[in-house]
């Protein structure tokens, strides 16, 4: 049973004070709150595919139809009950709704959040409420590099790996590129992405320099001035971590003006648009999928099952947002059932699940995922890039390069910025 919950920000008179917390420990179910964009510009390319992934994964887990090692029904035999929440709105709204979901609805675990700003706001609240919260995609490295959390996990790599990998790809494929510009959103995700890419480029390519850094506001939608600045900048390569509707708007506006044909453009989240906007994306655009997802996913049993099952259900291939949602749920399932086994087969306490989750390694449709950073709370995975190429009218990728997880991620305990400045050294 899937229950859609939209908790209002403004609470009608006195209802919250009178409502006790719900305890599902004896109900034979595990209540999981799922938060993703269901409305607004991020819904189409990111939020809805993530919701679809959650619904499909929970349904198949409850039916015991997921391949090994996830074949046991539900979570340790307990039925999963999903409570869905829209991530649209301000960070203040999200904090209010997170509290209500935990304190009124009584969810056992929260899985969610696409926006880096929302993750930064939610993490300390999850810690305050002692609620196990699994971030499935938000990218800023600041969560575990600037904070220390017991109840918060992230099962996808942070943005440093995306942008270090992008710079390594540019160096390998375009060794003469010395000047680079960028267009990134002016908040944590965009700022961190640009800083990591530009610092890595200057490290890997001695004498390289920034031509222009365009920082439009999130959800700006119109990029005429920024595109003009990039076209006249003299850049050898352009970097962009734009996502959601902003990425699609940029592609639709930059294409007709010839930006993609003038010089190589790196779209670190470009995989989400490669099929929808195939007619507008020319050959040779560098795209990433925030890791080994979508078109870059490995050929393993879990991926063969996942990609076929998802496309059969929704008539479109799963994008990286879908993969990362399912990946977070499988990571949670692994930890839950490991803790349950250690608890004599009895339902584990959340603290036992946390202990099993920390520093774990688990298989996924994207390959092996290691919780290797943030004291075992932050995942790492390889970084993968390729170039768009149409074959018989169908969008494909070519010149694919893979960069191992330990090459594009800092070692445990090392800040990403310091790691790049220090020469990308591993311990």
Q: What is the pLDDT of residues 59-117, one digit of tens each?
A: 999 999 999 999 999 999 999 999 999 999 999 999 999 999 999 999 999 999 999 99
| Positions in the chain short of pLDDT 70 | 1-27
For residue 400, the model assigns a pLDDT of: 98
In this structure, the answer to whether residues 73 and 216 fall within a common structural domain is no
Q: For residues 393 and 365, is the Cβ–Cβ distance under 8 A?
A: no
- Which structural domain, as residue segments, surrounds residue 216? 160-296+382-421
Nearest to 230 by CA among 205, 199, 255: 255
* Residue in 281, 278, 288, 312 with CA at minimum distance from that of residue 393: 278
What dihedral do alpha carbons 292, 132, 310, 40 form, nearest 10°? Answer: -90
- Residue 305 and residue 191 share a domain: no
Name 30's bridge partners: 80
Q: Taking the CA atoms of the chain, what radius of gyration do you get in angstroms? A: 21
On whether the CB atoms of residues 197 and 213 are closer than 8 A, the answer is no
3-state secondary structure string across 253-299: HHCCCCHHHHCCEEECCHHHHCCCCCCCCCCCCEEECCCCCHHHCCC
Neighbours of 310 (CB within 10 A): 23
Question: Are 305 and 402 found together in one domain?
Answer: no
Report pTM.
Answer: 0.90
Q: What is the pLDDT of residue 244?
A: 87
> Do 288 and 415 belong to one domain?
yes
Specify if 426 maps to a domain: no
In SS3 terms, 52-79 reads as: HHHHHHHHHHHHCCCCCCCCCCCECCEE
Buried b (16+ CB within 10 A) or exposed e, 372-381: bbbebbbbbb
Are residues 144 and 82 located together in one domain of the fold?
A: yes
194 and 320 in a single domain? The answer is no
Say if residues 64 and 73 touch (Cβ distance below 8 Å).
yes
Quick: pLDDT tens for 307-346.
999 999 999 999 999 999 999 999 999 999 999 999 999 9
Domain count, the chain: 2
Are 66 and 117 in a shared domain? yes
Same domain as 223, residue 131: no
């Amino acid at each position: 049973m899937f229950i859609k919950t939209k908790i209002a920000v403004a609470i009608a008179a006195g209802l919250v004070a009178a409502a006790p917390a719900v305890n599902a420990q004896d109900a034979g179910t595990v209540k999981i709150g799922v938060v993703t964009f269901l409305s607004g510009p991020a819904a189409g390319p990111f939020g809805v595919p993530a919701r679809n992934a959650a619904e499909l994964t929970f349904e198949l887990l409850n039916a015991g139809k997921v391949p090994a090692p996830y074949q046991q029904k539900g979570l340790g035999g307990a039925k999963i009950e999903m409570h869905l929440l829209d991530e649209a709105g301000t960070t203040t709204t999200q904090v209010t709704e997170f509290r209500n979901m935990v304190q009124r609805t009584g969810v056992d675990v929260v899985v969610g959040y696409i926006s880096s700003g929302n993750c930064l706001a939610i993490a300390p609240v999850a810690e305050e409420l002692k609620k196990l919260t699994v971030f499935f995609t938000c990218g800023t490295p600041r969560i575990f590099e600037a904070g220390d959390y017991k109840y918060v996990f992230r099962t996808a790599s942070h943005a440093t790996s995306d942008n270090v990998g992008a710079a390594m790809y540019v160096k390998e494929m375009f060794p003469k590129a010395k000047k680079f510009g960028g267009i990134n959103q002016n908040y944590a995700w965009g700022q961190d992405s640009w800083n990591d890419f530009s610092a890595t480029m200057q490290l890997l390519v001695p004498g390289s320099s920034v031509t222009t850094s365009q920082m439009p506001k999130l959800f700006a939608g119109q990029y005429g001035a920024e595109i003009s600045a990039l076209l006249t900048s003299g850049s050898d390569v352009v970097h962009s971590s734009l996502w959601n509707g902003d990425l699609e708007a940029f592609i639709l506006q930059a294409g007709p003006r010839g930006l993609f044909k003038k010089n190589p453009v790196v779209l670190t989240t470009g995989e989400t648009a490669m099929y929808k906007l195939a007619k507008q994306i020319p050959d040779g655009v560098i795209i990433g999928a925030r890791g080994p997802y979508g078109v870059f996913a490995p050929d393993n049993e879990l991926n063969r099952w996942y990609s076929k099952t998802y496309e059969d259900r929704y008539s479109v291939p799963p994008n990286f947002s879908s993969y990362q949602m399912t990946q977070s749920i499988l990571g949670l399932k692994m930890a839950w059932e490991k803790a349950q086994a250690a608890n004599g087969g009895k339902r584990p306490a959340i603290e036992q699940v946390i202990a099993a989750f920390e520093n774990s390694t688990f298989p996924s449709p994207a390959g092996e995922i290691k919780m290797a950073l943030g004291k075992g709370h932050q995942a790492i995975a390889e970084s993968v890039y390729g170039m768009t190429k149409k074959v018989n009218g169908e969008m494909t990728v070519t010149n694919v390069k893979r960069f191992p997880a330990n090459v594009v991620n800092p070692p445990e305990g090392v800040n990403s910025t310091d790691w790049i400045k220090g020469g990308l050294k591993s311990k």
